[in-house]
Chain A
């Protein structure tokens, strides 16, 4: 361990010596201070806070992310190219210890910088909040600078259900003429979704949402975040909505009605203590309009406060820190077998690929790349390319999603809670699984590499 720490310490000292720390610290602090001065907001305190939080955190993540990749590629590749590494490896230290030491050094550097940027952002947010009117402060404290837990109805696995239904049906009868099995599955899946999401005129939709243990949510006011879409998109359309909250078997009920815009999330408060003994909140919506309304899968959310902004912010930064640790591992892994410019280029390429998950999702949803049926939106023929593409895309997507499945910036700016469970999960998936995997690859290559041949 002493050896690893020695390498980490040397890496840190090198970063200080080459003024990387100073430059990055100045850039981060300047960015955090200057951004609020030049950014245009929507005119509300809430909007201003949200945009500052989003932009300063995004700036911090981007700056530190690229700097980490650059530094991790450079710190190993250059030392190998300039033969400094040969001086180290002849000492009584294993190559895996050198690799881990360098990674820890970069991670420690990131920890310092992220703490500095985080402190600057937090201070600015608090100072700005203090200057607001009492009304605006209330909005901020209840909706933005807060950690709210989000509860939603469980979404059924429509894909699996439709597959089971077809399998069951095919045991008793032949498939309908002119329809392939995938096309039939698409139709059944959409019918199932429509059954759950569409509320026809003069119909009622009931949600039963497991909010949390009654003891945890007692006396806590809640916020409903809801969205629906009309059958034909019309951005200006607004509908009268009628809502009831509370279990009909209990006495505590709440009713409200108001005009609501379509195609936009709307938040409104409901009183506390509307959940039943099982911790469920029953919500009833009556569609008394002339048009059917479609509630998307995340169209009904129940939120309640579980903590303050400080802890949430710290946990959010924790997830950003995990990302940076992964980038450090990626850069170091690339630098073990590539020259500095090639390693930097390739790792940035991987980073960009990981951001393009939309294409990967599309391949999986369409069940392939070529010969997509425009009617069903899915591949109906079996081809070698499609057979290969889907598992590759699924594998890549699942891997990338281990890191991408967290949205600390989005959660912080919309006041949603980042729990300790989220942070632990992020640490496990990003720092242990992904970074560990990259470390294993990097160490394996580094250990076997003939360093003398890499010297310029």
Chain B
């Protein structure tokens, strides 16, 4: 009597199991997919790992955390005692034990690039550590975590801030070294992306291989970035910041729950575009390439503008902050264009500023309607500025104006031009005096000699790319006693090029 209900119950159980398994079969796949899409999975299998790493992570199981902790403690102790020679190896082991923990990668890379590098007095030693930190993220962290926005953000930040900014005493060396490496790969000036996307010659094949394998740069994606935001100067670090931030967004865009983390990537893009606008043009003053000066990259104004607005639309909760930054950016565009003698464009951007942000044309509490007054007010504000990029841009813009006045060839314009040169020199002296109060500032944020800025600006104005009318160019050369071919080659200083000495009271010394 008892057998039958028992058997029925067993069948019912089996039937339930079958139904549940059948349901799970369909729902599990969907759930797994959703977990991946929403970025909820933390224990996804390690991909691209070499056998030793795959073995270590499996074989040690939970104990690897303990070993990683012990290594971490050792690394900290060594660092406190000023012993850095083991740091790269310890970082390698720690990250191999915990390859999926983003914070570990980010911390160790930051430690090398920011904390350890500054402990060395020799800039060449520092550069090694900045490179090590960058390589740890770019070559290792992204290999195992290709969908982690924070790693892309950190990498882009290293390019934008550590190499691109000027807070580190050795920043100039970082830029020079990076420019050398990129020049070896991409050449000087405009370079052809298509030749690296589909290389033909052995030399192009080798360069494309190095670009992909050593620097992890995809030429096709570089081209997309350049078309979207450029033309960019790829020898400067901020272009690479834009690349990695854009690439990070591309690689992680389908993780809907991680939208908050994308804002960091987007910020890098528009901040780097702003930097590229202010000093995104590279001019080599000598053949060695050991030093260079920058000029503003006025080509990226439109793209930076679009980027700001795009970011503002995408980040609804940060919209006000981004638009505020955009307002400041437009103000900067107006006066940089003005100081670079692009008055028509400056007027257009000034109108846009007033239109988009009524009241933004207020300086010191008073509305300024006239472009000229607005630009001059901004310049007056900037005289007290301590950002070397901004001050250098103003000096070179003022000198550019001066040369255009000289080119007119009449006495009245001569007076205006001399005033411009005097103003630029005063600005340079004031800035250098200001920063010289602390000796270390001279190396860190010092400007190139005034003569050098003068010469570079003059060469820029006379270069064919600038497009100065042939007659005006000739008048300018005559006015400044320059040879007929002066400024034709923008990358080589002519032997007889002369510039006013710092002690000359006014105007070019060659007159």
> Which residues does A use to contact B, with CB under 8 Å?
39-44, 46-48, 50-51, 54-55, 227, 235-236, 238, 240, 258-261, 263-266, 413-414
A240–B87 Cα distance when bound, in Å, is 27
Q: Tell me whether B169 and A42 are in contact (CB under 8 A).
A: no
**B81 and A42 contact, CB distance less than 8 A:** no
Please give the distance in Å from B307's CB to the nearest CB on chain A: 30
Contacts of B310 in A (CB 8 A): none
Which A residues touch B82, using CB under 8 A?
227, 264-266
Neighbour of B86 across the interface among A46, A51, A258, CB < 8 A: A51
Chain B residues with Cβ under 8 A from A261's Cβ?
118-121
**Given known A-B contacts A51-B85, A259-B121, A238 and B115 have beta carbons under 8 A apart:** no
Interface size on B, residues (CB 8 A): 26
Alpha-carbon gap, A51 to B87, bound state (A): 10
Q: With a CB–CB cut-off of 8 A, which chain A residues contact B115?
A: 235-236
Q: With contacts A51-B86, A240-B440, A266-B121 known, what are 12 further pairs, Cβ within 8 A?
A: A39-B89, A42-B132, A43-B88, A50-B85, A54-B86, A55-B89, A240-B439, A258-B121, A259-B121, A265-B81, A265-B82, A266-B119
Q: CB within 8 Å of A: which of B113-150? A: 114-115, 118-121, 125, 128-129, 131-132
B491 to chain A, nearest CB (A): 30
A-B contact pairs, 21 of them (CB 8 A): A39-B89, A40-B92, A41-B89, A42-B88, A43-B88, A43-B132, A44-B128, A48-B85, A50-B85, A51-B89, A236-B115, A238-B118, A240-B439, A259-B169, A261-B118, A261-B119, A263-B80, A263-B119, A264-B82, A266-B82, A414-B83
A42 touches B128 (CB 8 A): yes
List A contacts of B423 (CB < 8 A). Answer: none
* A-side contacts of B440, CB under 8 Å: 238, 240, 259
Instruction: Please tell me if the beta carbons of B85 and A236 are within 8 angstroms of each other in the complex.
Output: no
Closest 7 CB pairs of A and B: A265-B82, A264-B119, A47-B85, A235-B115, A50-B85, A43-B128, A264-B82
Would you call B25 an interface residue if the criterion is a C-beta within 8 Å of the partner chain's C-beta atoms?
A: no
Cβ of B84 within 8 Å of any chain A Cβ, yes or no, is yes
Neighbouring A residues of B26 by C-beta, 8 Å: none
Q: How far is the CB of B55 from chain A (nearest CB, A)?
A: 15
Which of A44, A48, A236, A413 is in CB contact (< 8 Å) with B125?
A44
Query: What's the least CB distance linking A134 to chain B, in Å?
Result: 16
What B residues does A51 contact at CB under 8 A? 85-86, 89
Residue B22 is within 8 A (CB to CB) of chain A in the complex? no
Which of A41, A260, A263 is in CB contact (< 8 Å) with B88? A41
Chain A residues near B121 (CB-CB < 8 A): 258-261, 266
CA distance A278 to B277 in the complex (A): 64
0/1 per residue, B79-116, Cβ < 8 Å to A?
01111111111001000000000000000000000110
- Which residues does chain A contribute within 8 Å of B118, judged by CB atoms? 235-236, 238, 261
Contact of A238 with B169 in the complex, beta carbons under 8 Å: yes
Q: How far in angstroms is the closest Cβ of chain A from B172?
A: 15
Given contacts A50-B85, A265-B81, contact A42 B119 (CB under 8 A): no
B20 sits at the interface (CB 8 A): no
Nearest-neighbour CB distance to chain A for B373, whole angstroms, equals 40
Question: Assuming A260-B121, A264-B119, A266-B121, is B85 touching A42 (CB within 8 A)?
Answer: yes
B466 within 8 A of A: no
State the CA gap A324–B89 with chains docked (Å).
27
Q: Which residues of B contact A41 (CB under 8 A)?
A: 85, 88-89
Chain B residues in 8 Å Cβ range of A265:
81-82
Chain A residues within 8 Å of B131, by CB: 43
**Alpha-carbon gap, A40 to B128, bound state (A):** 13
Choose among A43, A48, A54, A227 the residue with the greatest number of B CB atoms under 10 Å from its CB: A43
- Report B-chain residues with C-beta under 8 Å of the C-beta of A236: 114-115, 118
Which residues of A are found within 8 Å of B438, using beta-carbon distances? 240
* Closest-CB distance, B126 to chain A (whole angstroms): 10
Distance between Cα atoms of A259 and B129 in the complex (Å): 19
B128: chain A residues within 8 A (beta carbon): 42-44
List A contacts of B84 (CB < 8 A): 42, 47
* Cα distance, A264 to B82, chains bound together (Å): 5
- Decide: B89 and A40 in contact? CB cutoff 8 A: yes
Most buried by B among A39, A47, A50, A258: A47
Interchain nearest-CB distance for B51 vs A (Å): 14
Closest A residue, CB atoms, query B114: A236
How far in angstroms is the closest Cβ of chain A from B109? Answer: 14
Question: What B residues does A414 contact at CB under 8 A?
Answer: 83
Q: How far is the CA of A258 from the CA of B80 in the complex (A)?
A: 22
The residues of A that contact B132 with a CB separation of less than 8 Å are 42-43
Give the docked Cα–Cα distance between A446 and B277 (Å): 84
